[in-house]
Structure 1
Amino acid sequence: MLKLMQIHHVALICSDYERSKAFYTSTLGLDVLQEVYRHDRKSYKLDLALNGKYVLELFSFPDPPKRPSRPEATGLRHLAFEVNNLDETVKALLAQAIVPEPIRTDEHTGKRFTFISDPDDLPIEFYES
């Protein structure tokens, strides 16, 4: 059996690099570790961290095809962030004019969660610890 230690990172391809960069850094508050423009690919690669830990690669490519997320499609379903207080998270989102879905409760864990969408309509979950 493989001995996996943890998830190293998640990679996303965006349609509008500057808009997505602003969303993940300014709106969600991830920290930029490194930003590289790869001339041969006409592509940016942005490495982002959460609480000092590398978690996300954001890529841009010329004219990437859209990936359906609704109705539920095969592939990555959503990106989830753990939060301590979901009510405070919702207030912070609303203060940035981002309206989350109604708060739901996980029927198996009893934990509360909500969703928003990133600039490319990727579902982002906030899950209360």
Structure 2
Amino acid sequence: MKFLVIALSLVTTAAFAQSMGIKDIPADGDTTIKIQKGNKEEPKFEITAGEDEIQGDPAALLKEARESWKKACADWKKETKELNKENQVLTLNCGTMKCATTAMETTCESTGKHKIKTKIQ
């Protein structure tokens, strides 16, 4: 009876043991093997804010200058989103348009502001 209890305890212990074996992994070229135990650590993020100058092309008429600024604003938003595919763009704001006339041309510009959630780990 003692032998049976010892044999059962060995079988039970072997069933709960954790083992790791790596076989048949080609060694040619770069190979990285990572063994990690426990919970996967969540990535950490940082929120960054910034400003950019947005300026439309000069135009003879105020209406054309405003349209040019609107196009520049849309292009700035599109480019910012394309450059931050991995990160998350939280806010994009082109700011308030200000137009000035010099030498028979009108130019509209503003200060665009953005907030981006950036992965730091």
TM-score tier, shorter chain, comes to: under 0.3
The normalised TM-score by structure 1 is: 0.22
Q: Higher helix proportion, which one?
A: 2
Q: Tell me: higher relative CO, structure 1 or 2? Use CA pairs within 8 A at least 6 residues apart.
A: 2
The normalised TM-score by structure 2 is: 0.23
Q: Higher strand proportion, which one?
A: 1
